[in-house]
Structure 1
């Protein structure tokens, strides 16, 4: 099977590339390196076809999809906070980029496109756990762009005979996640802050909770979505089906490092929701998905990776190369 991974130098993307190669797939990667790191791909570079380019360049995307069977579309600007600062940039990368991917898939007769969706589309859902049939209520430009991407994906797929699957990720974390950006996800930022002997800052409240999902679970879900029959047009939650608060997270990091951690409490961030939790019943029923790495084990392995790599300063994960939105 020939697979294209857009955003393949990103956190999730490069883990997918590695697993695809291990499973014997032929892999192409498209990434403009605006938020990804080439260093993540260097150990695999001889085994993949890599093109530095953007999903916003339709010609490049179309050319790269020649002889591709399935696309794992991970390219995005995956940040609520950044989307508040730059809603147009978020829309272009996440929505317009998805339209281009679907047009290129149509032009090349690609069999299936699997989209990296987001749990943010649910918004402040009063009914938890969130199920795929719940009303969506996106509260940030990022969430709006991801919901729009889902709708374009399924609409264009239906119109042009391309199979589509959306995987709505819930707060993915794990080794090699970037802790250095102003928009970094909470787990790598907390871990590296503590490793520097500093106090982590919690935005809003220690009671904020998330369905934190280790990267191995997301890779597992994508591998199932790659080949499982009878799932075209589906949107599926990918999480652990378990809720942990930021207070729980701080304690888990502390246990892994044998430290008592006292975080600072800062202001809430615009666009954030208080709680999220996935109902993963549909993914289990249709894909056979079950989480393989629980929260505590995932946090421990992530803390160990950052500790071993010394990834507490800029540039350890890799040198960021300038560019436009992936």
Structure 2
């Protein structure tokens, strides 16, 4: 007997391809719902050949298609979204896909009585944090259509919980990185910029003093959190998924220099920069999900460099 069937929107993308094997290992069947605009088609075809995964190549904006595909599913993971960069370039499309898509998925899940829905939210709902580490109960100040839609998604989940008893967890992802990520991804562009220079024998160039920081969480750790949120006893919560460590851009440059084995020092471009810092308070993830990050930034970045250099 299977553990159930997971309706998984946007599951053919970078993070989804790391979550899927974990779901299959735990006995779930998976109904991928993805328009394949950014999906890994070759990998999806491998997975569908197993008979445990089916692909519904449609768009979350079409409520009838979503409703039909959710029917018979026991769980939902909702990842389908427009990226943060695209949301500022085209707010209309972002609101259409992220807001309408969220509501279509949540309403269908509530109507079909699924056991649990896991929503991919974002640490960007906090805006520029007033303190570190950032806690789930801190004030929210989303600054872009993407971030605004994620905050609204959390509010919509609460609405469907109140109205129909929908069981959900919203994971506020921090700066996800790892193998298989597209190089133009918003918060990995700095990693790729540094690596491009280092592999060409050039030092990384850092704006300001490199004090701005991110909380880099490895995609394999994040994938475990998604499955834990699907199966946790407690629900109805936003949960930070990060490491709790803020890695500055200057520290990141040093980690990558060491990983490449380059004999260079970073070059600093003296100019005023807005220093934003990020670090997650992950106590709730520990308590509710029993989850801890296992891959350190140094380990994860070194593995990324080794893969890129074919070592």
Q: TM-score, normalised by structure 1?
A: 0.85
Question: CA offset at residue 304 of structure 1?
Answer: 2.1
Question: CA offset at residue 196 of structure 1?
Answer: 5.3
3-state DSSP of counterpart to 1:131: coil
Aligned to 2:253: 250
Deviations 1:257-283 (A, max 9, x none): 1013646759999xx871111000111
Deviates more, 1:34-43 or 1:17-26: 34-43
Q: Which has the larger Rg?
A: 2
Residue 94 of structure 1 contacts residue 145 of structure 1 at CA under 8 Å; is this kept in 2? Answer: yes
Tell me which of 285, 288, 294 is aligned to 2:287: 285
Inter-partner Cα distance in structure 2 for 1:242 and 1:166: 21
Inter-partner Cα distance in structure 2 for 1:266 and 1:9: 41
Question: CA offset at residue 187 of structure 1?
Answer: 5.4
Deviations 1:132-174 (A, max 9, x none): 1101111222211111111112212321221010010111110
- Residues 3 and 124 of structure 1, relative CA distance in 2, 3 Å threshold: same
Question: CA offset at residue 175 of structure 1?
Answer: 0.3
Question: CA offset at residue 212 of structure 1?
Answer: 0.6
Residue 208 of structure 2 contacts residue 268 of structure 2 at CA under 8 Å; is this kept in 1? Answer: no
Residue 55 of structure 1 contacts residue 97 of structure 1 at CA under 8 Å; is this kept in 2? Answer: yes
Inter-partner Cα distance in structure 2 for 1:254 and 1:59: 51
Inter-partner Cα distance in structure 2 for 1:20 and 1:102: 21
Tell which has more relative contact order, 1 or 2 (C-alpha 8 A, sep 6+): 1
Aligned to 2:141: 137
- Residues 171 and 285 of structure 1, relative CA distance in 2, 3 Å threshold: same
Aligned to 1:71: 76
Question: CA offset at residue 307 of structure 1?
Answer: 2.7
Tell me which of 27, 30, 39 is aligned to 2:30: 27
Deviations 1:7-63 (A, max 9, x none): 111111111112212232111111112233323423323131011111111111111
Inter-partner Cα distance in structure 1 for 2:46 and 2:204: 32
Aligned to 1:52: 57
Q: Which runs of 5+ in 1 are unaligned?
A: 310-326
Aligned to 2:118: 114
Q: Which runs of 5+ in 2 are unaligned?
A: none
Inter-partner Cα distance in structure 1 for 2:224 and 2:236: 19
Tell me which of 210, 225, 232 is aligned to 1:228: 232
Question: CA offset at residue 288 of structure 1?
Answer: 1.0
Residue 102 of structure 2 contacts residue 153 of structure 2 at CA under 8 Å; is this kept in 1? Answer: yes
Aligned pairs (5 A) from 1:161-172: 161-172=165-176
Aligned to 2:302: 300
Inter-partner Cα distance in structure 2 for 1:71 and 1:273: 37
- Say yes or no: does 1:98 pair with 2:102: yes
Deviates more, 1:283-292 or 1:33-42: 33-42
Inter-partner Cα distance in structure 1 for 2:220 and 2:269: 30
Aligned pairs (5 A) from 1:173-188: 173-180=177-184, 183=186, 185-186=188-189
Aligned to 1:5: 8
Deviations 1:96-132 (A, max 9, x none): 2111101111232212110001000111111111101
- Residues 165 and 67 of structure 1, relative CA distance in 2, 3 Å threshold: same
Q: TM-score, normalised by structure 2?
A: 0.89
Aligned to 2:41: 38
Residue 65 of structure 1 contacts residue 104 of structure 1 at CA under 8 Å; is this kept in 2? Answer: yes
